[in-house]
Chain A
Amino acid sequence: MSSILKTNAVTMQFGGVTAVNNLELEINEHEIVALIGPNGAGKTTAFNMITGVYTPTKGTVVYTDKNGKECDITGMKLSEIAKIGIARTFQNIRLFKDLTVYENVIIAKHLHIKSDFMSAALHLPWYNAEQSKAEIEVEALLRKVDLWDMREEKASSLPYGKQRRLEIVRALATEPRLLLLDEPAAGMNPKETEELTSFIKEIRDEYNLTIFMIEHHMGLVMEISDRIYVLDFGETIAKGIPSEIQNNQRVIEAYLGVDEDA
């Protein structure tokens, strides 16, 4: 299995505070990797460094594109990251609230539209071709994840679980190879979580994705992830397959410790 994403000793400091210290990740193609840890461990910061929201204070992020070429994407713009095939969702859902489900998803196809705004505005043939292609794909996608019936609904009017799902679908629509999910199960009831679990597996195989996710819901994590990284106070305190993590002393301490405080 060949690696798709590598981080070499990336560190993020805000003023004096070190949010993430010497993080060494390696994610291989077609894996589902989870990043866990107590609150404030720096998980989301790690995500933000990978997706170019923050530029790491030091260290590099290396991505292997579909032609197997390694490229340094440290501090690359978020939009560029999306273009090379890394999509992400957000901890606090960031949908285009006032737009319809359909619009939300088809917007994601914009980065595959090659024609310039003039030909788009004048609806010239080559643009129309691209456009209808996009429409077909979106329809297929929405039918697949059974959101098609509510395509005309405003995103904000969807039930919570569906909103989470829509955000993932929107990310999928950018046709990524690596998908980063930031707490996809947050705030879901057991049933929704069930669905989510299978949904993630499903899309991984369907679209042949690599998935890297932050998640608190241990049930979910243990069930689907191939490997797990554990962060605490910005340090990587453990990594390995679920069974190893489950009975890793430091991890337990980290969590129990937090539990006591809480």
Chain B
Amino acid sequence: MEFFQGLLNMSGASFAQHMVNGISLGSLYALIAIGYTMVYGILLMINFAHGDIVMMACYFAYFGITIFHVPWYFTFIGVIVATALLGAVIERMAYRPLRDAPKNSVLISAIGASFLLENLANYLFSGRPMSFPDIPLLSQNIAVGSIKIQAISLVIPVITVISLLVLLHIVNHTKTGMAMRAVSKDYEIARVMGINIDNIISMTFIIGSALAAIGAIMWGIRYPGITPYLGVMPGLKCFIAAVIGGIGNIKGAVLGGFILGLGEILIVAFFPELSGYRDAFAFIVLIIILFYRPTGILGERTTEKV
């Protein structure tokens, strides 16, 4: 059957290659999804602007290295700081004023923020793509037998796991983390208990955006074309990854990221005819998951009080 041609004549080598591709893409999704899920976990709102924060971080890196010739390791630190600040600012401007507003207003505000960032980038940096600075150390190729892999693709999963552990530590074993969990459970109570909600939420955004920056750097090195709309698709897909894993659940985000990354690669690997539909895959998975397990794979079920 012609349709399954992909399945039949796939050599072991290409399959291995596909797996490698999938894992490297998946870990990238996972890395960005963590930031998403963490913000959602605390605020119970989609930070639509997350993808665009990633985009901005890429531009920061570009200006740091290509324009101001700062060595890349310094630049990256700078980028993370700058992006974290950006995140805090966005929270201050777009979300804090709506703290007690209906959910939909917050959602619209989030969409507005992302739309604003895109247009701002478009206006400031023009629509012309810029090339993410090349870091030979990370972008070089490594060949394992017939399997080719980029150095960065080995780094990404490590970074992902590290950030995962760090984040888990922060959330579970630090005072801030405890406060965060309190806020996510019920911020009226948290307020009464004397937690400064605003600081905690700003903190959440700072950490989330820092993660976005790390993700952006990895993304930029792997896919070095920077445009104002760079963040849109990764943003959506990583959100979907977070939902699949169970939004608000940090481990879930990682799981979701890998499912999505591998899925996207393998669907094309097995059914080359469907390559044009690849971007639809993420959404279809999303809808299936939402249908059968609205709270995601690792998310706990909730019942409404009447």
Contacts and interface: CB of A to CB of B under 8 A. Distances in A.
- On whether A and B touch (CB less than 8 Å), the answer reads yes
Interface string B269-306: 00000000000000000000000000000000001001
Contacts of B303: 14
Contacts of B306: 44, 48, 53, 90
A131 B18 CA distance: 64
Contacts of A90: 306
Contacts of A53: 306
Interface residues of A, number: 5
B181 to A, nearest CB: 21
B261 to A, nearest CB: 35
Chain A binding surface SS class: mixed
B101 to A, nearest CB: 14
Contacts of A48: 306
B304 to A, nearest CB: 9
Nearest to B305: A92
Interface residues of B, number: 2
A81 to B, nearest CB: 13
Contacts of A44: 306
Nearest to A78: B306
Contacts of A14: 303
Nearest to B304: A53
A14 B306 CA distance: 14
B299 to A, nearest CB: 16
A260 to B, nearest CB: 27
Interface in B187-245: none
Nearest to A14: B303
A244 B68 CA distance: 89
Nearest to A91: B306
Interface string A26-59: 0000000000000000001000100001000000
Nearest to B303: A14
A223 to B, nearest CB: 28
Interface in A1-43: 14
A44 to B, nearest CB: 7
A90 B306 CA distance: 8
A44 B303 CA distance: 15
Interface in A167-200: none
Interface of A: 14, 44, 48, 53, 90
Interface of B: 303, 306
5 contacts: A14-B303, A44-B306, A48-B306, A53-B306, A90-B306
Q: Nearest 5 A-B pairs (CB), nearest first?
A: A53-B306, A48-B306, A90-B306, A44-B306, A14-B303
